Amino acid sequence: MSNRVVITGLGVVSPNGLNIPDFLHAIQNGISGIRFIPEYEDLKFNCQVSGVPEFEWEQLRNYITETSLYGLKGKGIAYGIKAALDAWTDAGNEIVSEDTLWETGCVFGSSVADTDVIKTAITRVDARESKKLGSRVVEQIMNSGVTAYISGRLGLGNKIINNSAACATGTQSILMGYEYIKFGMAKRMVVGSCEYVDRYVFGGFDSMRVLSRKFNDEPERASRPMSASAGGFVPGSGAGALILEDLDFALARGAKIYGELLGGSTNSGGQRNGGSMTAPGPEGVVKCIMEAIANSNISANDIDLVSGHLTATIADKLEIQNWVQALGRSGDDFPMVNSLKSMIGHSLSAAGSIETVAAVLQLKHNFVHPNLNLEDPIPEILDIIGANNLPTIKVDKEINTVAKANFGFGDVNSCLIISKYKND
């Protein structure tokens, strides 16, 4: 069995674009979605900037029923619903189906259930008012809330799974959906991830001293992957979604095809040999990328673009070293590299899916989006891959194959290989 898996729909809720056309425009033109957050100054956070989508609840009105929208407070779920349903309609489908779609499933990821909703529950319960919580709390504080909303709205009847692997969640969720189709268990999967970073989650990272703190008065300069003046990442929120389909299933219904998901790999360094709870071990990363390439039946030389994890911490240098080792390419022979995080920050679980959406758009429209704030690349990175592979403005270029990877807490790695669809 060798079912080919193609990408037929895209949806995004990003700090720099709430739909695919706006997001495409933003990543082509290097538009930042990072803003100063006055509340974070008030809370005495070191980092006072964040990537927050300009989302309004009203935007969901045509996505779910009025009764469902009434009482929905979880923003991560809301982002996920919007991205997933946008991807679904982008793939040429109607939202409302009378019958259960047994051939279609959903793998959607998230890191934390909405803490704003949890906070309401905690406050009420502690005030001995649990009676007033109502029926809508549990469905929004359960980790599977987002998949329950998406699958219920679309009538999906195949595997419905919420996935969580920290910052590797997005790419891992996409890979899981791919595997179900590849192995004949589903014909179509709605895949992606969402994240709403509220003040409590933000505070946890802030206390770890891993966030950008020197650019609070220049928010658009704050997220600086691979820059020598980078001082930590900028948290962000949002969601990304893709519709994956069995090739024959997609062709039979005349679907437009953005590209083919050739394969991928996910593993862990086991938190050994340099890997830890918070840092990816080089061996695992290299193995993950090499396996993704092997599983996709391509050569490392076929890769035109590396969409890195590259968060703007001290790990960036090591990540580039790992890519060099895994691809066996360096200097001008290395592919172009970019990090979407320079525009929107690091949206944790949502990062992988939003970045995969960006990767598919670069493949489809033949360009490499710029790296913002990379006027001063880290010297060791320049030494091994050269300045030509670190674009700071959009580069128009034929892109046939993209490698997209993310690395998460727990030493979990995930890498996807996406290519143009070729009928052969």
Tell me whether residue 70 or residue 379 sits nearer to another protein (CB atom).
70
Tell the smallest beta-carbon distance from residue 106 to another protein (Å): 21
Tell the smallest beta-carbon distance from residue 124 to another protein (Å): 11
- Cβ 199 vs Cβ 116: under 8 Å: no
Place of tokens 């997220």: 223
Site residues (vs another protein, CB under 8 A): 65-67, 70-71, 131-132, 134-136
Tell me whether residue 117 or residue 292 sits nearer to another protein (CB atom).
117
Tell the smallest beta-carbon distance from residue 100 to another protein (Å): 18
Tell me whether residue 65 or residue 301 sits nearer to another protein (CB atom).
65
Tell me whether residue 66 or residue 424 sits nearer to another protein (CB atom).
66
Tell me whether residue 129 or residue 376 sits nearer to another protein (CB atom).
129
Instruction: Give the integer Cα–Cα distance in Å for 400 and 422.
Output: 10
Q: CB-based contacts of 224: which residues, under 8 Å, 6+ apart? A: 212, 215, 230, 231, 312, 342, 372, 373, 374
Place of tokens 């673009």: 305
Tell the smallest beta-carbon distance from residue 55 to another protein (Å): 21
Tell the smallest beta-carbon distance from residue 137 to another protein (Å): 11
End-to-end CA distance of the chain: 17
| Closest of 126, 131, 26 to residue 354, by C-alpha | 26
Tell me whether residue 72 or residue 181 sits nearer to another protein (CB atom).
72
Instruction: Give the integer Cα–Cα distance in Å for 43 and 57.
Output: 25
Helix (H) or strand (E) holding 337: strand 336-338
Place of tokens 């830890």: 276
Tell the smallest beta-carbon distance from residue 133 to another protein (Å): 8
Tell me whether residue 39 or residue 129 sits nearer to another protein (CB atom).
129
∠ CA 8-14-57, nearest 5°, is 100
The per-residue DSSP string of 219-250 comes to GGGS--TTBTT--SB-BB-EEEEEEEEEHHHH
Tell the smallest beta-carbon distance from residue 60 to another protein (Å): 15
Instruction: Give the integer Cα–Cα distance in Å for 259 and 55.
Output: 28
